[in-house]
Amino acid sequence: MANKERDYVLGTHDDEIERLGIQHEVWRPRAMAAWRRAKIKAGETVLDIGSGPGYATLDLASMVGDRGHVVAVDRSRRFLDTLDARRRARGLDNVEIIESDLDEVKLGENIADAGWCRWVLAFVMRPRELLTRVASAIKPGGVFISHEYFDYATWRSMPASPVFEEFVQATIRNWRKSGGEPDIGLQVPRWLESWASRSNRRHCSSTPLRRTTSRGNGRRRSWTSASHD
Ligand SMILES: C[S@@+](CC[C@H](N)C(=O)[O-])C[C@H]1O[C@@H](n2cnc3c(N)ncnc32)[C@H](O)[C@@H]1O
């Protein structure tokens, strides 16, 4: 019997796979800039924590090249199957896929040069504990990059749409009911600082990021949202 799909609050259906693709396109320049600042390079091993269908995973796989390695961890079989199909279509052999719940996964010690985690700490039940496990998986001198929402309700449209605003509010309510925290980005920098000071590591920077973008379809519509780097 096939494994039961392990969904999250926004779903793992085709529309969500497409939405994550649009979201990645919008935020991709910020992700790439952060990876460059972190000096991720060819030959390195990078963890993609909560990879989803793997839009960032595949970009990272190109960045680290044939000699490098990207380990994508997620609990959604559907998302991971999508990633696997896309990885094969591009002939990429440097992606390892792990299906696991991040609240339980054992990542090991000193196995990666870098860790990347975007829009995931907001969903897991024990984000602070997950951060500690990810940190142990990164070698001394390695780097961890997190992009998380800090004001989810800034996801708005122009012209204003009451239906869209109600959708965002309903999403926030359901999200919190399911145990996650959409504005987790408000807490992450402090957690990283405190972890860094206890473990003789360095917390490099926290930067608020804002994004406004337009989607075509005849009428222009602007979307804004806030995340942190
Ligand atoms: C908003 S998506 C972000 C996906 C990807 N990081 C990106 O930037 O496109 C959140 C991801 O977290 C995963 N996720 C949420 N809770 C999880 C958990 N407890 N264990 C593993 N994955 C989880 C979901 O399956 C989903 O792929």
pLDDT at residue number 202: 78
Q: What percent of the chain has pLDDT over 90?
A: 72
pLDDT at residue number 21: 95
For 14-228, give the CATH class.
Answer: alpha beta
d(CA 131, CA 163): 36
**Cα dihedral across residues 124, 153, 116, 23: positive or negative:** positive
Mutate to test the pocket of ligand 1, among 74, 80, 128, 181 (most ligand atoms within 8 A of CB): 74
pLDDT at residue number 1: 42
Is the beta carbon of 124 within 6 A of some atom in ligand 1?
yes
Is the beta carbon of 79 within 6 A of some atom in ligand 1?
yes
Of the pLDDT bands very low, low, confident and very high (cuts 50, 70, 90), residue 217 is very low
Q: Which atom of ligand 1 is nearest to the CA of 49?
A: 6
pLDDT at residue number 227: 62
**Cα(119) to centroid(ligand 1), Å:** 7
Of the pLDDT bands very low, low, confident and very high (cuts 50, 70, 90), residue 6 is confident
pLDDT at residue number 89: 97
Contact 93, 62 (CB under 8 A): no
d(CA 45, CA 30): 20
Is the beta carbon of 175 within 6 A of some atom in ligand 1?
no
Here the tokens at position 75 are 């609990």
Residue 188 has pLDDT above 70, yes or no: yes
Report the nearest-CA residue for atom 10 of ligand 1: 120
pLDDT at residue number 11: 83
Residue 225 has pLDDT above 70, yes or no: no
Q: What is the pLDDT of residues 94-137, one digit of tens each?
A: 999 999 999 999 999 999 999 999 999 999 999 999 999 999 99
Q: Is the peptide bond before 159 cis (omega within 30 degrees of 0)?
A: yes
Q: What is the pLDDT of residues 82-93, one digit of tens each?
A: 999 999 999 999
Is the beta carbon of 55 within 6 A of some atom in ligand 1?
yes
pLDDT at residue number 220: 42
**Cα(79) to centroid(ligand 1), Å:** 9
Determine the average pLDDT of the residues in 166-183: 95
d(CA 15, CA 125): 25
Provide the residue ranges of all domains of the chain, joining segments of one domain with +. Answer: 14-228
**Cα dihedral across residues 171, 177, 178, 184: positive or negative:** positive
Q: What is the pLDDT of residues 27-65, one digit of tens each?
A: 999 999 999 999 999 999 999 999 999 999 999 999 999
**Cα(115) to centroid(ligand 1), Å:** 15
Of the pLDDT bands very low, low, confident and very high (cuts 50, 70, 90), residue 224 is low
Please state the three-class secondary structure of the chain as a single string. CCCCCCCCCCCCCHHHHHHHHHHHHHHHHHHHHHHHHCCCCCCCEEEEECCCCCHHHHHHHHHHCCCCEEEEEECCHHHHHHHHHHHHHCCCCCEEEEECCCCCCCCCCCCEEEEEEECCCCCCCCHHHHHHHHHHHEEEEEEEEEEEECCHHHCEEECCCHHHHHHHHHHHHHHHHCCCCCCHHHCHHHHHHHHHHHCCCCCCCCCEEEEEEEECCCCCEEEEEEEEC
Does the reported pTM lie above 0.75? Answer: yes
Residue 191 has pLDDT above 70, yes or no: yes
pLDDT at residue number 199: 78
**Cα(117) to centroid(ligand 1), Å:** 9
Of the pLDDT bands very low, low, confident and very high (cuts 50, 70, 90), residue 211 is confident
